[in-house]
Amino acid sequence: MSARHFVKYTFIKMEPAWRRLDAAEREQDKRELMAACEDFADGHLLQSLSLVGTRGDAELLLIAEAENLERIHELHVVLAQSGLMRWASTPYSFLGMRKSSEYSEDERGAPRAFEGKYVFVYPFVKSREWYALPAEQRWRIMQQHIEVGREYPGVDNHTTYSFGLDDQEFVVAFDTDDVGTFLDLVQRLRTTEASRYTVRDTPSFTCIRMSLTRALNALDGEPIGVVSEPLTAA
Amino acid sequence: MSARHFVKYTFIKMEPAWRRLDAAEREQDKRELMAACEDFADGHLLQSLSLVGTRGDAELLLIAEAENLERIHELHVVLAQSGLMRWASTPYSFLGMRKSSEYSEDERGAPRAFEGKYVFVYPFVKSREWYALPAEQRWRIMQQHIEVGREYPGVDNHTTYSFGLDDQEFVVAFDTDDVGTFLDLVQRLRTTEASRYTVRDTPSFTCIRMSLTRALNALDGEPIGVVSEPLTAA
Amino acid sequence: MSARHFVKYTFIKMEPAWRRLDAAEREQDKRELMAACEDFADGHLLQSLSLVGTRGDAELLLIAEAENLERIHELHVVLAQSGLMRWASTPYSFLGMRKSSEYSEDERGAPRAFEGKYVFVYPFVKSREWYALPAEQRWRIMQQHIEVGREYPGVDNHTTYSFGLDDQEFVVAFDTDDVGTFLDLVQRLRTTEASRYTVRDTPSFTCIRMSLTRALNALDGEPIGVVSEPLTAA
Amino acid sequence: MSARHFVKYTFIKMEPAWRRLDAAEREQDKRELMAACEDFADGHLLQSLSLVGTRGDAELLLIAEAENLERIHELHVVLAQSGLMRWASTPYSFLGMRKSSEYSEDERGAPRAFEGKYVFVYPFVKSREWYALPAEQRWRIMQQHIEVGREYPGVDNHTTYSFGLDDQEFVVAFDTDDVGTFLDLVQRLRTTEASRYTVRDTPSFTCIRMSLTRALNALDGEPIGVVSEPLTAA
Amino acid sequence: MSARHFVKYTFIKMEPAWRRLDAAEREQDKRELMAACEDFADGHLLQSLSLVGTRGDAELLLIAEAENLERIHELHVVLAQSGLMRWASTPYSFLGMRKSSEYSEDERGAPRAFEGKYVFVYPFVKSREWYALPAEQRWRIMQQHIEVGREYPGVDNHTTYSFGLDDQEFVVAFDTDDVGTFLDLVQRLRTTEASRYTVRDTPSFTCIRMSLTRALNALDGEPIGVVSEPLTAA
């Protein structure tokens, strides 16, 4: 029997001052972070996503999966040693663990990469009233919820568990190639009975999956050509 | 059939330290942001608004519309490369998508610019009790709400949808030329039945629509002549 | 018919680093802010108050009144150009508009200066249950509230409206020469029926009205003579 | 008849950067703050307490008492002029006023110093349901509360009033020589009827009363001898 | 009879700027913190844990136990003198006191070290409805809660009390060698009756117990070898 894996969501934001360094220094900083990630990715699942344009409070998301906390710890020790993290903050961080749902036959213990172009992530907490319901009633309510989800087959669920490990109960994550369909699904789910037991489902992150190289290059760059007219003439 | 568009609200605030740079450097920083915007505006809707004087926590609002998230992402990559964003933060950010309302015949999918002198924006969340009501009851309640709105024809609604994409359910936006009428409308709407299902409608931003040149020049400048009497004599 | 006026509350706090600049530079910074204010005050109501000693998160309050948002905007553009704002933040900002109350015969549309030595300000939001009450019941409840206020004639109300313009519904403001009487009034009002419908009435600011020169000089200065005994001897 | 006095709680935290200055500069900064305090303490009650070790967000508490707001204002003007406040923030600030309780015969108007070794402070807000109860019922409930307090005679109450003056209704403060007894009292009071009407009683500060010299010297100092083994050998 | 002991949880986070100092300076900073800890640990319980990888807002946790507040204060005075704290913040701080539970026969007054590989910590507040229940009912409800806990013998409880001393009522802490079992226990406890009376149980910290040397070395280091391909070629 294999152990349940940990999935770590680490959100990174650069200090504006980093963008004031010269290009060679920034290039070196990014290559050091890249080296730290490549070292971990040799044997572990590590995915990179960009939030540039979708959020104002985070720019890069790394999602790392490992068989124990020590390996997650080591990855972040090495990340912190990279030049990039000397100019970055970690505004959000979610620690989850794979676990099969009591409401579904689906096996959720195995490592599984995100494959859609877009990933949606939010921390999730249910009310204590929910947990006070009889197990059969919770089962029935969740079946309705799951059936609505099945009507949107292009949206795939990657939820992990955080009870006692982090501030939320679940790290809910979905991937899809079609943002509009995901929006329609979430709006539709508002009317299910399960929805009434939600206490917290924010912040809610829209992430664009891309190579780490591309996600890192989205953090900085040189300005494009400037306008010809001086502003003070306006 | 054309795709539903994304509408992105990006709020910008300068670090006070930026105002301590010399005028030529600030001019260059603003021209670089302007170039980034002009590049995007060639083919996309991009509007600029100033919050100088109406808020303490944001100074400039850019509202960008595009057919997919990649184009929104690219705009913000290029914005981040401008000198201005090396001294700025993004205190608020709202991502919405156009979608027709289930409570109205109005077509809301098409790109549409703000035309009023003033734009009011706030993130909006309704209670789960609202979504638990039967669809017909929600329809009836919203008709009353819409009818009140019709009594104030000078106020135009530009709401977009954020379910699952961002922390709010809707990005509510109105434009008008008459601030007092808008205030009266909002106060009047407090007494409608729909109002009881509001969970969140803040922060609420009053924005002044103006050219990007003017909005950028509102961020800095040289001090006007000083008083003749020394303060210490007072 | 004259237009309803805007009243803007702008709270300012200096970065501690500003106090490390030399005295001449700080004097120049204050004179530039003073010049910006004098320019506006020539034709508009502008009042200055100090929060040094009453709050930890704000030091100076400017209350500006103008006939339109553009004039409020321009004032803050010029304020931002002053040296002082290059070392300051704006931790709070309230935008209100004059409007007569539906519960009182008093005319509230005309510009009116604070005259008491002390001014108390807080953003105010009522519950949606309040707005769901019949208008006559709200009238009756407010009459009781107003009658209690009349028992404290030394306290004068300067409330303005913010529905849809800012995060609160009202900017409540009182002035008086007698702080203890104001405290007694507020405690007494807790037992009125109207009080039960309050959702938010904080932060609550105690402000000391004074000339801008005096309020600016309260922001900095040179240390007084030091103790003779070295601390390390203690 | 003497006027009711103001009691001001000012919490101070040093920027970490201050600890990087050389020792002579820090000594001078502390002596300037000391001089500002001595000036006020000549004729007014001023007490100093340390939070080093009990909180992470505040290090020094000054409790000042004066007959009017102007004197409190002046103290803070002079404090801000000291070198120490050029490297400090004021994370918390509570303004209260002495007033006798409607539920007790005890005279609370007179200035009174803390005498216990430990002082516990928190801002306190009661629910609007509390204020809606008939006065006799509130009296009865408070008598039970007061009787429980009397069983712990080593704990002394120094509560002041903040209605309308600050964000809380009361600044609750106790002093004692015995922390464990105070903890037992607070836990015991949770089961009284009065406790059900509490809306807010945090943040809750444990403060150690000591001379200003000692409290200031607790803010900095030179490191003690280092370990002999290099860390990298571990 | 020995006095009840204090247990202090101090969470530390380095400023990113610290990682930009040269290696010798960082080594010296860490050795000074180490010396401060060794001094205290000679006669007192002091444990070190790392949060690198499990949280984004804290990196190092020190848990110190002492017989009085003065000794806790002195430890933190000396910590603040170390080079490390000149570049660090204390984002969280919990002060607790040992006390036997009214719901258990277990003796909880004696100092006791964490022994599991992982420690889970969160501040805990129960609702006032809980405290309004008759003591016998609370006893009965807690017995069910305790029985569930006994089914997970590998998880050990180290809860201390904070009533009136800090913002929470309890500092709840568990240690275990098996993270998955702890997660399962916490999820299982959601369905107990006791769970319905929880008001606050976040933030929730997952901590890895390790030597102070190892925990300090996890804070910084030199970057590993960089990738060969320049990023700009991607």
pLDDT computed for residue D233 by the predictor: 42
Distance, in Å, from the CA atom of D210 to the CA atom of D175, rounded to the nearest integer, reads 13
Strands (E), D45-193: 46-50, 60-66, 88-97, 118-126, 156-157, 160-161, 170-176
pLDDT band at A104 (very low <50, low <70, confident <90, very high): confident
- On chain E, the residues whose CB falls within 8 A of the CB of A212 are none
Residue whose C-alpha is closest to residue E217's, from E9, E24, E26, E15: E26
**Angle E69-E73-E76 (CA atoms, 0-180°, nearest 5)?**
145
Partner residue facing A36 (CB), from E174, E196, E224: E224
Q: Report the alpha-carbon distance of residue C14 to residue C29 in Å, rounded.
A: 11
Contact B120 C164 (CB under 8 A): yes
DSSP D44: S
Contact D80 C54 (CB under 8 A): no
Q: Tokens at residue D38, please?
A: 């001595």
- Condensed to tens digits (0 to 9), the pLDDT of residues A130-150 reads 999 999 999 999 999 999 999
Mean pLDDT of chain C: 94
E99-126 average pLDDT score = 89
Residue type, C91: P
As given in the structure block, the two tokens for residue D168 are: 């809380």
Residue A168's identity, in one-letter code, is Q
Tokens in use for A6?
């940990």
What is the mean pLDDT of the segment spanning A169-196? 98
Confidence grade of residue A157 (pLDDT, cut at 50, 70, 90) = very high
- Is residue B84 packed enough to be buried (19+ CB in 10 Å), middle (13-18) or exposed (0-12)? buried
Per CB-CB distance under 8 Å, the chain D contacts of E21 are none
The partner residue sitting opposite C164, judged by closest CB among B20, B183, B193, is B183
Check if the beta carbon of residue C182 is closer than 8 Å to that of residue C155: yes
pLDDT for the residue numbered A102: 84
pLDDT confidence of C104, banded at 50, 70, 90? confident
Pairing of strands D198-200, B45-50: unpaired
| Averaged pLDDT for residues E87-106 | 92
CB E126 within 8 A of CB E198: yes
- Nearest-Cα distance to chain A for E164, in Å, is 24
CA atoms within 13 A on the CB side of B10: 28
Q: How far apart are CA D174 and CA D182, in angstroms?
A: 9
Q: In this model, does residue E7 exceed pLDDT 90?
A: yes
More confident residue, C104 or D119: D119
By C-alpha distance, the chain C residue nearest B196 is: C128
Cα distance from N-terminal residue to C-terminal residue, chain E:
71
Give the confidence band of C75 by pLDDT, cuts at 50, 70, 90.
very high
What's the CA gap between B202 and E42, in Å, rounded? 53
Identify the closest residue of chain A to E123 by CA–CA distance. A167
Indicate if the alpha-carbon torsion angle E54, E59, E60, E61 is positive or negative.
Answer: negative
What's the one-letter identity of residue E87? W
ipTM of the complex: 0.94
Both structure tokens of C78: 């010029």
At residue C227, does pLDDT exceed 80?
Answer: no
Task: Read off the pLDDT of residues E142-186 as tens digits, 9 standing for 90 and up.
Answer: 999 999 999 999 999 999 999 999 999 999 999 999 999 999 999
pLDDT over 60 at E234, yes or no: no
CA–CA separation, A217 and A108 (whole Å): 33
pLDDT of residue C171: 98
Chain B's closest residue to C131, CA to CA, is B191
Over range B80-104, report the average pLDDT. 94
pTM value surpassing 0.90: yes
User: A102-116, A216-230, C97-111, D87-101: which has the minimum mean pLDDT?
Assistant: A216-230
Stretches in chain D below the pLDDT threshold 70: 1-2, 225-234
How far is C-alpha D27 from the chain's CA centre? 25
- Please tell me the least confidently modeled range out of A216-220, B106-110, B126-130: B106-110
Answer whether residue C234 shows pLDDT above 60. Answer: no
Q: What is the pLDDT of residue A230?
A: 65
pLDDT for E1 equals 41
Q: How far apart are CA A196 and CA A21, in angstroms?
A: 49
* C190·D90 Cβ contact <8 A: no
Q: Tokens representing A158?
A: 């990657």
CA distances from C213 to B78, B230, C20 (A): 44, 10, 20
Residues of chain A positioned with their CB less than 8 A from the CB of B132:
191, 193, 195-196
Q: Which residues contact E113 (CB under 8 A, 6 or more apart)?
A: E45, E47
pLDDT at A231 over 70: no
In percent, the amount of chain A with pLDDT more than 90 equals 87
Cis peptide, bond prior to residue A91, ω within 30 of zero? no
Fill in the amino acid letter for D169: E
CB atoms within 10 A of CB B68: 14
Q: Do D16 and E75 touch (CB under 8 A)?
A: no
Q: How far apart are CA B169 and CA B166, in angstroms?
A: 7
Mean pLDDT of chain B: 94
Euclidean distance between CA atoms B40 and B70, whole angstroms:
12
DSSP 3-state assignment of D47?
strand
The pLDDT of A202-227, averaged and rounded, is: 91
Whether the predicted pLDDT of A234 surpasses 50: no
Residue of E nearest to D234 (CA): E213
B6: Cβ–Cβ under 8 A, 6 or more apart, which residues? A179, B65, B66, B67, B68, B69, B72, B95, B96, B97, B98
pLDDT in tens, C135-194: 999 999 999 999 999 999 999 999 999 999 999 999 999 999 999 999 999 999 999 999
Q: Which of B53, B227, B234 sits opposite C72 (nearest CB)?
A: B53
Q: Are B158 and B175 in contact (CB under 8 A)?
A: yes
Q: How confident is the model at residue A233 (pLDDT cuts 50, 70, 90)?
A: very low
Q: What is the Cα–Cα distance from B202 to D173, expressed in whole angstroms?
A: 34
Q: To probe the interface with C, which of D15, D25, D31 has the most C CB atoms within 10 Å? A: D31
Per-residue pLDDT averaged across A37-47, rounded? 96
- Angle ∠(A122,E206,E161) on CA atoms, nearest 5: 110
Give tens-digit pLDDT for D161-196: 999 999 999 999 999 999 999 999 999 999 999 999
Please tell me the distance from the alpha carbon of residue D26 to that of residue E86, in angstroms, as a whole number: 13
| CA-based nearest residue in chain A for residue E122 | A164
The residue ranking higher by pLDDT, C222 or A47, is: A47
Measured between beta carbons, which residues in chain B are less than 8 angstroms from residue A203?
167
Looking up tokens 């105690």 gives C206
Looking at every residue in chain A, the average pLDDT score rounds to 94
Cβ neighbours of C195 in D, within 8 Å: 128, 131-132
Dihedral sign from CA coordinates of D104, D106, D110, D112: negative
Rounded to an integer, the average pLDDT of C88-103 is 94
Alpha-carbon span D40 to D43, nearest angstrom: 7
